[in-house]
Amino acid sequence: MTDTADVEYRVVAENVQKAFGDNKVLKGVSFTVARGTATAIIGPSGSGKTTLLRTLNALDRADAGVIRVDDIEIDFSTPTPKPEVRRFQSRSGFVFQGHNLFPHKTVLQNIIEGPVIVQKRPKEEAIADAVELLDQVGLAAKKDQYPYQLSGGQQQRVGIARALALKPKLVLFDEPTSALDPELVGEVLSVIKDLADEGWTLVIVTHEIQFAKQVSSQVLFTDGGIILEKGPPDEVIGNPKEARTRQFLERVLNPL
């Protein structure tokens, strides 16, 4: 693998494989993500998009392959000590489809949970950062409310603030708008676009094709457990080389 001292890439993945029983979900996936860029992963249901994303945080541990996130590299074909896996996981923040907020905690309490409990940061520092992040996602006035008092879009924005509160090197989004009513999608996509514009390193699994084209520097099209096509959005979405990519985009962009 490339020298881990090389700072050009935030993520380097080589030959990543993952199976659930007899179902080979990832069949040797390789790609890189440059620092300060957004990468969109698109593809049909069951193509391995979410599993690929989850391997980048070891939420799903790969069966084989090497993944480097920032300065931590793991060869998943060999046993890895738990402390090293935790260090690997600490380099990224994860935004889930379904918010995954603690229902019995306020917005502020949800955001400071990770920094205080996991990272052992001073509570006062975590609160100050959380207030700043809530202002960034347009929810400063909601800090003392509970998740049930928020709309789905607001809950997802809290989820984004919670991920950012960990000060990650990489932010992973798993179809962040798929559980939202259509009228709430725009507010979440706007926050993600702002993060991309600010130079965060993002990897986004999304079915919002036009958003992927607008916000990303790189698009990965997955199908059948492999990356079938990758490149700039103007190429992969605007002028795809592969017939399967063209077929998928035609069906998604022109459903009738």
Assigned token pair, 21 = 């029983």
In whole numbers, what is the pLDDT of the chain averaged over residues? 92
Residue tagged 């999304």 (tokens): 206
Task: Provide the pLDDT for residue 179.
Answer: 81
Q: Give me the mean pLDDT over the 198-210 stretch.
A: 94
Residue 148 scores a pLDDT above 70: yes
Q: In what order do the strands lie in the sheet with 38-42?
A: 92-95, 170-174, 202-205, 38-42, 218-223, 226-231
Residue 241 scores a pLDDT above 60: yes
Of 6-10, 25-29, 97-101, 103-107, give the lowest mean pLDDT range.
6-10
Task: Provide the pLDDT for residue 256.
Answer: 67
Task: Provide the pLDDT for residue 171.
Answer: 96
Phi, psi (rounded to 5 degrees) for 42: -125, 165
* HSE toward the beta carbon, residue 33, CA cutoff 13 A: 28
Q: Under CATH, what is the fold of the domain 1-91+169-256?
A: Rossmann fold (3.40.50)
Nearest by Cα to 35 from 53, 12, 2: 12
Q: How far, in Å, are 74, 93, 163, 215, 252 from residue 193 at the CA level?
A: 30, 17, 16, 6, 21
Q: Give me the mean pLDDT over the 192-218 stretch.
A: 94
Task: Provide the pLDDT for residue 1.
Answer: 46
Report domain extents, the chain. Answer: 1-91+169-256, 102-167
Q: CA-CA distance, 229 to 220, in Å (whole number)?
A: 6
Task: Provide the pLDDT for residue 9.
Answer: 87
pLDDT tens digit sequence for 58-71: 999 999 999 999 99
Task: Count the residues in the chain.
Answer: 256
Confidence of residue 183 (pLDDT cuts 50, 70, 90): confident
Residue 3 scores a pLDDT above 70: no
Tell me the one-letter amino acid at 253: L
CB-based contact 89:61 (threshold 8 Å): no
Residue 232: DSSP 8-state: -
Confidence of residue 182 (pLDDT cuts 50, 70, 90): confident
Q: Give me the mean pLDDT over the 221-248 stretch.
A: 96
Q: In what order do the strands lie in the sheet with 64-69?
A: 23-34, 9-20, 64-69, 72-75
Task: Provide the pLDDT for residue 253.
Answer: 87
Task: Provide the pLDDT for residue 4.
Answer: 44
Q: Give me the mean pLDDT over the 220-224 stretch.
A: 96
Q: Give me the mean pLDDT over the 223-252 stretch.
A: 96
Q: Give me the mean pLDDT over the 78-102 stretch.
A: 91
Q: CA-CA distance, 194 to 179, in Å (whole number)?
A: 21
**Percent of the chain whose pLDDT exceeds 70:** 97
Residue 2 scores a pLDDT above 50: no
Residue 7 scores a pLDDT above 60: no
